Amino acid sequence: MVKELQLFEKETLFYSVIKKNITVPGLKPWSARLITSLEGAMVFEDLNAKQYKLRNKFSTLDMAHTLQALKTLARFHASSIIYEETKRKETLGEYKGIYYDYETTLRQGEYNLASDFIFQSMIGALEAMKTFSKYDHIEINLIESRWRDVWSTALSLGRYSSRHKNVVSHRDLWNNNLMFHYSKNNENCWEPDDCVLVDFQGVSCSPPAADVMLLLCCNLNPTFREQNIDEYLNFYYGQLKKILDNSNIEIDEILTKEEFMTSAEEQRLWGLTICACLLPHFWLDDDVTTEHFSDNARFNEIFFKNRGEFIKKMMETNLDYKQKVMEIFEEIADRYCFPAKQYVIK
């Protein structure tokens, strides 16, 4: 899939050109440093040697880890804003933006329903709900009538926006693409003091709230996410403002607080939908992953031809998997297929 979508070439462009351009001197790094690029491979600094660690993929983020990840995301997004504002001053307002510099490459691997993976994710989620969800047959029929439109709307939200400020965005912010550094606090307990982002194969340009909501939807328990959503959004915006202030950029001229909060509410659908694509194959233990995905023919069958069968099989044999995956499917349906019904945090 990586080769077919030319995602390696995309990531190489990001690290060798875009990242180099947008790096802000003196701003704490938000990703690993590229050492060299070889044919078919890139060599990075060793983050493990710097004591950065991946978390267990079955562990959702708590408050401390979420705030560190949002800090890093704000640095990443601010970097492209600072670069573009500097270029606009240099060109007397003529510079259009990073997206237009590299549009062809940044659109590679774009999420849309023409992708077999995305289409099968959409169909697989619907098939699983027909079998295992809380809905009766009347509700299922209503969901089915609206499901494609909901997904189509979601996927459009994650693309370059004509209405909102855009930044260089990661678009794949699940647990395995976040590495944390730890230090001991005053109580002699280990706590995260930094985070870096890895794997930029999905990089593109979209509203900053798209990455923020994707991070929160993919990595937090839904109840915990909603209980603290305002704190997280305010924290991210405050971090972004502080970084831009240090570069003499007035955030309200770029993205007002109201615009950001409105965008975040819109982007919730994007975050939930991409989570619904990713969660069914990363919420599996390593033995199951090896059993089903090490064979290319089996991998292609599951990912591109019949995802629903696989998801239902996993739900039949693993109650934890069923609960975790189904709650995301049902949140999408509750919020966006029943517009007259108010979504309630459980």
- The verdict on 226 and 344 lying in the same domain is no
Q: Is residue 269 part of a domain?
A: no
Is residue 149 within 8 A of residue 336, CB to CB? The reply is no
Q: What is the DSSP letter of 198?
A: -
Label residue 119 by pLDDT band (50, 70, 90). very high
> Is the predicted pLDDT of residue 296 greater than 50, yes or no?
yes
Q: Is residue 278 part of a domain?
A: no
Q: Is residue 184 within a helix (H) or strand (E), and if so which, with residue range?
A: strand 178-184
pLDDT tens-place string over residues 212-246: 999 999 999 999 999 999 999 999 999 999 999 99
> What secondary structure, in 3-state letters, does 1-42 show?
CCCCCCHHHHHHHHHHHHHHHHCCCCCCCCECCEEEEECCEE
Q: Is the dihedral of CA 123, 218, 195, 159 positive or negative?
A: positive
pLDDT tens-place string over residues 172-199: 999 999 999 999 887 878 999 999 999 9
CA distance 342 to 334: 8
Label residue 5 by pLDDT band (50, 70, 90). very low
- The verdict on 28 and 9 lying in the same domain is yes
* pLDDT given for residue 345 in this prediction: 58
- Out of 138-142, 294-298, 338-342, the most confident range is 138-142
- The verdict on 35 and 140 lying in the same domain is no
- The verdict on 56 and 119 lying in the same domain is no
Q: Rounded to 5 degrees, what angle do the CA atoms 164, 168, 173 make?
A: 100
Q: Is residue 260 part of a domain?
A: no
Q: Rounded to 5 degrees, what angle do the CA atoms 169, 61, 71 make?
A: 45
Average pLDDT over residues 133-147: 97
Beta strand 34-38 with 178-184 is unpaired
- The verdict on 148 and 186 lying in the same domain is no
Q: What is the DSSP letter of 60?
A: P
* pLDDT given for residue 343 in this prediction: 58
CA distance 93 to 123: 45
Considering the chain, what is the average pLDDT of its residues? 93
Percent of the chain with pLDDT over 70: 96
Which residues touch 90 (CB under 8 Å, ≥6 apart)? none
Place of tokens 């403002």: 241
Q: Is residue 32 part of a domain?
A: yes
- The verdict on 206 and 58 lying in the same domain is yes
- The verdict on 185 and 203 lying in the same domain is yes
- The verdict on 74 and 174 lying in the same domain is yes
Is residue 164 within 8 A of residue 263, CB to CB? The reply is yes
* pLDDT given for residue 290 in this prediction: 81
- The verdict on 172 and 250 lying in the same domain is yes
Q: Is residue 21 part of a domain?
A: yes
- The verdict on 76 and 7 lying in the same domain is yes
Last residue of a domain, one of 210, 235, 255: 255
Is residue 124 within 8 A of residue 153, CB to CB? The reply is no
CA distance 153 to 161: 13
- The verdict on 101 and 218 lying in the same domain is yes
The closest alpha carbon to 292, from 271, 273, 317, 274, belongs to 317
Q: Could you tell me the end-to-end alpha-carbon distance of the chain, in angstroms, rounded to an integer? A: 37
Which residues touch 26 (CB under 8 Å, ≥6 apart)? none
pLDDT tens-place string over residues 263-286: 999 999 999 999 999 999 999 988
Label residue 56 by pLDDT band (50, 70, 90). very high
* pLDDT given for residue 145 in this prediction: 97
Last residue of a domain, one of 255, 272, 293: 255
Percent of the chain with pLDDT over 90: 82
- The verdict on 95 and 145 lying in the same domain is no
Q: What is the pTM of this model?
A: 0.94
What is the count of structural domains for the chain? 2
Q: Is residue 151 part of a domain?
A: yes
Label residue 6 by pLDDT band (50, 70, 90). low
Q: Is residue 183 part of a domain?
A: yes
Q: Is residue 317 part of a domain?
A: yes
pLDDT tens-place string over residues 73-95: 999 999 999 999 999 999 999 99
Label residue 340 by pLDDT band (50, 70, 90). low
CA distance 76 to 30: 6
- Rounded to the nearest 5°, which phi and psi values hold at 304? -120, -10
Is residue 307 within 8 A of residue 121, CB to CB? The reply is yes
Residue 50's domain comprises: 1-109+161-255
* pLDDT given for residue 341 in this prediction: 65
pLDDT tens-place string over residues 148-162: 999 999 999 999 999
